[in-house]
Structure 1
Amino acid sequence: MAIPHDQPIVDTMIGFPMRDPKATYGFITKQTKDAESGKLKMPAGYMFKDVPDQADEPEHPDPIAVTLGQMDAHGVSTGLVGVRSEDGKRAVTEFPDRFAGCLSVDPNKGMDAIREIVSAHAEFGIKAVDVFPAGTHPQVAINDKKMYPVYAKCVELGLPVFVCAGIPGPRVPFEPQKVEYIDEVMFDFPELVMVTRHGCEPWVDLAVKLMLKWPNLYYSTSAFAPKYYPREIIDYANSRGAEKVIYAGYYPMGLSLERIMKELPNVPLKDDVWPKFLHDNAKRVLKLT
């Protein structure tokens, strides 16, 4: 059950050291009401030990170079990065063999959100769209009618959508991210490829049942240190779900690649599951060449 030697890794959630973390996380902290959230390194920082330092000084090295160095050191061949920031845009433009673009979308923006998807697809060749239902303001549930134009455009462009599901880390209401809402979306959009992010807890059993039910529904391990991967997901990957579970990290938001790669070999995946989990499934879903 060991990770294959020299196995390339596709990380479906990676980023760059932030020039201004407080501004980056402002969309969340403006919604929280507790005193602690605004003081944390990141809004869910109470859940993580040793949150990686961020690049908030002008003299800090190029954030893209920092992330590339981390990727090279830990065997990550390709990273899925957001293209909202200038660093993300530059990364997918200058290093298209190492970075694939993903556009974060706010469904509250209506048709403007759809135009943003079309523009990012044309200009940056984005490979995916992502939505944080509990982080939108006002919040937009996974099955809300405001989401449907986003899903429809993703189907039209052949893009998967990554959606946070389960209890969110930041101290905002969880209702928009109930895993049960995914069932209605997959029923209405059978061609949509959806990948859940951030664990689906405490409804992991339900997430597994829905992946068995819906062929285009996947699970990614973002924001979870490998030692905390849900047992239900490991069992599913080792049985009927070998094609459905996708590796994702959380660097630099909450986890270092060093910690992830140190813990990863202890995950009890079967030998034939490792290449699918670390590379093949993401390559297929993102249509990477």
Structure 2
Amino acid sequence: MSVPEGQPIIDTMIGFPMRDPKRTYAHITRQTKDAESRQDLTMPAGYMFKDVPGHEDPPADPVAVTLAEMDRHGITVGLVGVGGEDGRRAVREHPDRFAGCLHVDPNKGMDAVREIVAAHAEHGIRAVDVFPAGTFPQVAINDKKMYPIYAKCVELDLPIFVCAGVPGPRVRLEPQRVEYLDEVMFDFPELTLVTRHGCEPWTDLAVKLMLKWPGLHYSTSAFAPRYYPREIVDYANSRGADKIIYAGYFPMGLTLDRIMTELPGVPFKDSVWPKFLHDNAARVLRLG
């Protein structure tokens, strides 16, 4: 039970060294109230991670840095945000290596829907993502403000990545209660939804809901491999081999060196590794 040598990897959460972390995380820090969150400009959830990659003196070409890291670790494709110029340039100049994802704010109403349509037409995005606890005002997973976004994702055949479970930043957890996924999948049975950031402490419930809803998936973003929840590993090794998708967290909170060093210690069955590291993401993102 080890990572197959030469196994290609699709990373469904990767980014670029930040030019301005304070500005990048302003959508979170504007609603936090504790002093530590506001003062830590590296990342608002930095207290949860060891050896957070530094963002001081960003390189002249952040895209080149990430691409070099991907090459070192066998990552063939990275899903990146296209909200900033680095992401848009990466998708434009390296379409075989980067797939675009649009972060949306459901508080924008129909403007958010129009942004999805425009990004799909202009940048060929492969996914949409939402951070419910990070919106301001917060918008829950099952809030009706989310429904036009879900509907447009179904119409355009785009998966949506949604953070679920207790958030790392010191903001209210209520919008990300895992049981809310049940209502969404009931109302949008054609939707492909991939959770991000663990679903803790409701991973058992997440597994139960994945068994129930064909379109519901789980990604391992923001977790070092040694901390992958036992319930998720067990599910992947049994009935959920097609539902669990690899995601890293570089450079936000984890280095790829750490992730790839710890990955062989995850007790996945041999048959699970290709699906986890590549095939499931390729299917969900329509990468062929």
The 5 A counterparts of 1:96-245 are: 96-245=95-244
Distance 1:61 1:78 in 2: 22
Asked if residue 52 in structure 1 is aligned to residue 53 in structure 2, the reply is yes
Asked if residue 277 in structure 1 is aligned to residue 276 in structure 2, the reply is yes
Distance 1:75 1:203 in 2: 32
Residue aligning to 2:3: 3
Residue aligning to 1:267: 266
Q: Which runs of 5+ in 1 are unaligned?
A: none
1:176-219 per-residue CA deviation (whole Å, 9 max, x = no partner) reads 00000000000000000000000000000000000000000000
**Does the CA contact (< 8 Å) of 1:55 and 1:63 recur in 2?**
no
Distance 1:184 1:24 in 2: 31
Residue aligning to 1:26: 26
**Does the CA contact (< 8 Å) of 1:163 and 1:194 recur in 2?**
yes
**Does the CA contact (< 8 Å) of 1:219 and 1:244 recur in 2?**
yes
Offset, 1:56? 3.9
Q: Which runs of 5+ in 2 are unaligned?
A: none
Q: Which amino acid letter does the alignment assign opposite residue 69 of structure 1?
A: A
Distance 2:19 2:134 in 1: 21
Q: CA RMSD in A?
A: 0.7
Residue aligning to 1:92: 91
Q: Which amino acid letter does the alignment assign opposite residue 11 of structure 1?
A: D
Distance 1:211 1:176 in 2: 19
1:151-200 per-residue CA deviation (whole Å, 9 max, x = no partner) reads 00000000000000000000000000000000000000000000000000
Distance 1:66 1:50 in 2: 18
Distance 1:185 1:30 in 2: 28
Helix, strand or coil for the counterpart of 2:259?
A: helix
Distance 1:107 1:55 in 2: 32
Q: Which amino acid letter does the alignment assign opposite residue 240 of structure 2?
A: G
Helix, strand or coil for the counterpart of 1:49?
A: coil
| Aligned pairs, number | 287
Select between 38-47 and 144-153 the one with higher mean Cα deviation: 38-47
Offset, 1:229? 0.1
Distance 2:56 2:92 in 1: 21
**Does the CA contact (< 8 Å) of 1:21 and 1:56 recur in 2?**
no
Asked if residue 43 in structure 1 is aligned to residue 44 in structure 2, the reply is yes
Residue aligning to 1:16: 16
Structure 1 consecutive aligned stretches of length 4 or more whose deviation exceeds 4 Å: none
Taking structure 1 as the reference length, the TM-score comes to: 0.98
Offset, 1:61? 3.3
Q: Which amino acid letter does the alignment assign opposite residue 27 of structure 2?
A: F
**Does the CA contact (< 8 Å) of 1:162 and 1:195 recur in 2?**
yes
Q: Which amino acid letter does the alignment assign opposite residue 76 of structure 2?
A: S
**Does the CA contact (< 8 Å) of 1:106 and 1:131 recur in 2?**
yes
Distance 1:194 1:56 in 2: 36
Distance 2:56 2:111 in 1: 31
1:194-253 per-residue CA deviation (whole Å, 9 max, x = no partner) reads 000000000000000000000000000000000000000000000000000000000000
Q: Which amino acid letter does the alignment assign opposite residue 87 of structure 1?
A: D
1:119-161 per-residue CA deviation (whole Å, 9 max, x = no partner) reads 0000000000000000000000000000000000000000000
